[in-house]
Structures are given as structure tokens and as C-alpha cells.
Chain A
Amino acid sequence: MKFKFGIKEVVAIGVGTALFVALTEIQIPTPIPNTYLQPRMAIMAFLAAVFGPLVGGVVGILGHALGDAMFYGSVWWSWVIPEGIIGVAIGLCASKFAIKEGEFKNVKAIVLFNVVQILANIVAWALAAPCLDILIYAEPANKVFLQGAMAILGNVLIIGILGTLLCVGYSAVGAKSSSLNKEE
């Protein structure tokens, strides 16, 4: 488990957050009204899988807060925190994915990645986000649970497809140039 906070993590958080923020405006509309697929979620999942829970969690929380503030002018805190939960959850398994070492290619890793992301999404959007919405903003319960269900659908889909592709792709190509690793 990588909980260290070194130069690499500092820069990964910085550039990762910038990436997340810059991609805030890229949204793929779906046939369901008012529901968008957010590629930035896939980026966050990818960064968490590569750099671990700290980077994943901070990119999720900071990126969401900063991105919302910069593009939408208001921060919806009850949706910022769940994003961090997903980042941490995926990040916790980072050592099993071993993306940088080029190991993310077998079915086992891909299945694990997707099981973790689906569980994390359910906890985040069916549990954390609606509860925080009701607690913090006193919003009507059926509205927030409906929104939560939409969010699960959209995020599971985008992380499942795009996130997996990114991990497999980077693992295949990125590993060639950096197969040497310093021993910890």
C-alpha cells in the first residue's frame, strides 16, 4: 500500500487535478435526459489505479471542487466527497494492478478493477451522496436517490469502458519505456 507523499505524488496530484479540471467540460450526452458520461471519472480511476489511494482521493476531491468552482461557479460538496471515496477505493488496489510494471493485461486484473469500481460507485452514489444531500442541503429524498442511481449508471459505464481501456493501454505501452524499477 502506497501512502507515501513524495515528489511523484505531489506532481501527480497537481497534474492529475489539472487534467481532471480541464476535462470537466467534456461530457458525453446519453439517451437518458440530463445524464452525462463524464470522461473525467475514467481519468480519476486511471490515476488512482496507477498512483494509489492518496493521489486518487485528492484528485477526486480537489479536482471536483476546483472544476465545479471554475466551470459552474458553485461547489456541490455532497458530490465532491463521494468522488474521493471512489478514488481511494480504486487506489487501495493499485499495487495489485501494477499498471506501471506492465502487468495490467490479464482478465483477473481487469475483473478486479471493475468489481472495485462498481462497489465503490454504489457506496459513493447510492449511499454517501444522497445521504449528504439530505443532511447538508435538505433536498427531497426521492430526487437525490434518483440522481444517485443515474450517477452510478453513468460512472460505472464510463469507468468500465474508458477507464479499463486506459489502464490496459497505458500498461501495454508505458511499461516498455520504464520496465526498470528502483527497489524500495
Chain B
Amino acid sequence: MSKMLAYEEKDTWIHRLSGVTKLIFFLLWCFTSMLTYDTRILAFMVAFSLLIFKISKTEWKQVGTVFKLIMVFLILNVLAIFILSPDHGTEIYGTRTVLFHIAGSYDLTKEQLFYELNVIIKYFTVIPAVFMFLVTTNPSEFAASMNKVGISYNIGYALAIAIRYVPDVQGEFTKIKHAQEARGIEMSGKASLLSRIKNTSAILFPLIFSSMDRIDTVSNAMELRGYGKHKKRTWYMERKLKRNDYLTIGFTVVFTVVALVITFADGNRFYNPFS
């Protein structure tokens, strides 16, 4: 199961940034990309995302399969918007420039094309940021840094455990699945819907039981080692915020504010080239 994005150790300045810095960047970046439909800002964000992607030395083989999957979703989404609301662009931009007639009530309008172009660009602003965050952040260091900026260590631990156990649970799932398939349980499209649900539960039951056991084992082990006894913990992977961290956070905040000011300067979140 290699198609998942996972942390890989490298030595670039992005890898050396604290996990918290990258989380702040990631969240604010997503937030800005969510709010703005201003094509100029989105275009800048795409360019900047690609630059970060380049600097973080992320390789195509780390993210390629996931990227192809996103493209499929992107195309489906764009088509669904067009089929269900071919005139959404007109509603937003207020004008209607028909390029050519397709069929029935479907016209291809410039406004719709422009709106869907914005939807596509929005995907591309966020994708590199997600890749960068997942591929360059060490989960243990991330938990430690979260605690260092004042977030309860329980939350940091829950997150670290989650990231830490994903591959384990996946491995277990595969093992159980192979065992059940060897016993003749059909998982593919050949089985009917109801029997497919039943067959999935044949895998999920053992997986749930072993996971519940795991929860007991891990929490007992943590309890034995005195977890939660004190208000504070020390961390092996601890990393203090350095100059670059403050610079990055500063840049992100300034960028978010500027982007939102530009976006909403004309009263709404869309950039309208038609008026």
C-alpha cells in the first residue's frame, strides 16, 4: 500500500521548520484558498505552491499516484458542476456570453468556463501544500512542537498515535483480508451489494476486535509509565521555534491578510473580468 503520502526524511530548510509552523501555514493557506475566488490571488498561490514543492525536494514518485487520483476527482467534480448547473457562472458574474450551443438548455458560456477554471485552480493551490505538509513533517516532532506552543499534550499524543498506527492498522487489514479471501470470501464487484457488505464485515470484525485490544494494550502501557501524572512532559523530538519559523509564520499571516483585503476590496469574493 504505497499509494499513501508519508513522511520521508530529507534535509531542506522546509524539513527543518517546526511542525507547528507548517501546520499554521497549511491551515491558513487552505483557509485563504477556500475564501478567495480572486483569480489573480489564486494564480499567485499556485505559483508559490509549486515553488515550495520544488524547494522541499519532493519527488514525483512520492506523490504521483495520489496526484493521478486527485485528477480523476477533479474532472468528475468539474463535469458534475457543469451538468447540474451550466449557468452558475452567469449567476456569479452577471453576464452571459455564449460561446456555442451544446444541446437542450446547455450552452457553453465564457462565464461558466471562467468559474470552472477558478474551481480547478483552487485544487492546484491546495494540493502542493498538503503534499508538502505530509511529506516533510515528522509526526513525533510535530506532537512535541504542538505541546511546546501551549497545546495540551493529550492532543499532541492522540495525533501522534493516529499517524503512528495508520501503517500498522493497514498491515493488519491486509493480512485479515488475504486470510478471508483465502477462505473464499468475495470482495470485488462480482458479489451482490448486500453480500458485499456482509463480506466487508467479515474483515472489519476481526480488525475492530484487534484494534480494541490494541487500545487496551497501549493505554495500559502508557498508564504503567505514568502518562498523565504531571501537567508537563519532556520530549525527545523537541524542537524550538527558530528564526525561520517566525519568518514563515509572519509571511503566512501577512499573506492571508493581504489576500483577503484584495479579494474583498470590490465587495465580493469573485474577480470579475466581464464587467
Interface residues of A (CB under 8 A from B): 5-19, 21-23, 25-26, 28-31, 34, 37, 39, 42-43, 46, 50, 58, 62-63, 66, 69-75, 77, 136-143, 146, 158, 161-162, 165-166, 169-170, 173-174
Q: Chain B 193-216 against A: per-residue CB contact (8 Å), 1 yes, 0 no?
A: 100110011001101110110110
Smallest CB gap from A173: residue in B: B209
Complex Cα distance, B92 from A83, in Å, reads 29
Contact among B67, B84, B207, B227 with A143 in the assembled complex (CB-CB below 8 Å) = B84
Given A30-B193, A74-B123, A162-B201: A174 and B212 interface contact (C-beta under 8 Å): yes
When the two chains form their complex, are residues B81 and A73 in contact, meaning their CB atoms are under 8 A apart? no
Complex Cα distance, B126 from A137, in Å, reads 13
Contacts of B130 in A (CB 8 A): 69, 73-75
Contacts of B215 in A (CB 8 A): 8, 11-12, 15-16
Contacts of A143 in B (CB 8 A): 80-81, 84-85
Contacts of A18 in B (CB 8 A): 161-166, 168-169
B88 at the interface (CB under 8 A from A): yes
Contacts of B35 in A (CB 8 A): 136
Smallest CB gap from A34: residue in B: B76
B13 at the interface (CB under 8 A from A): no
Q: How far is the CB of A153 from chain B (nearest CB, A)?
A: 12
Interface of B, helix, strand, loop or mixed by DSSP: helix
Interface residues of B (CB under 8 A from A): 1, 3-6, 30, 34-35, 37, 63, 66-67, 69-70, 73, 76, 80-81, 84-85, 88, 92, 119, 122-123, 126-127, 130-131, 133-134, 152, 154, 157-166, 168-170, 173, 189, 193, 196-197, 200-201, 204-205, 207-209, 211-212, 214-215, 218-219, 222-223, 227-228, 269-270
Complex Cα distance, B158 from A8, in Å, reads 10
When the two chains form their complex, are residues A14 and B161 in contact, meaning their CB atoms are under 8 A apart? yes
Contacts of B34 in A (CB 8 A): 77, 136-137
When the two chains form their complex, are residues B166 and A6 in contact, meaning their CB atoms are under 8 A apart? no
Complex Cα distance, B211 from A19, in Å, reads 8
6 example contacts (A-B, Cβ-Cβ < 8 A) are as follows: A13-B158, A17-B158, A18-B169, A75-B130, A143-B84, A162-B200
When the two chains form their complex, are residues A62 and B159 in contact, meaning their CB atoms are under 8 A apart? yes
Complex Cα distance, B133 from A66, in Å, reads 11
Complex Cα distance, B84 from A146, in Å, reads 9
Shortest Cβ-Cβ A-B pairs, 5 listed? A14-B161, A140-B85, A18-B165, A17-B162, A13-B158
Contact among B81, B168, B169, B200 with A140 in the assembled complex (CB-CB below 8 Å) = B81
Contact among B127, B211, B212 with A73 in the assembled complex (CB-CB below 8 Å) = B127
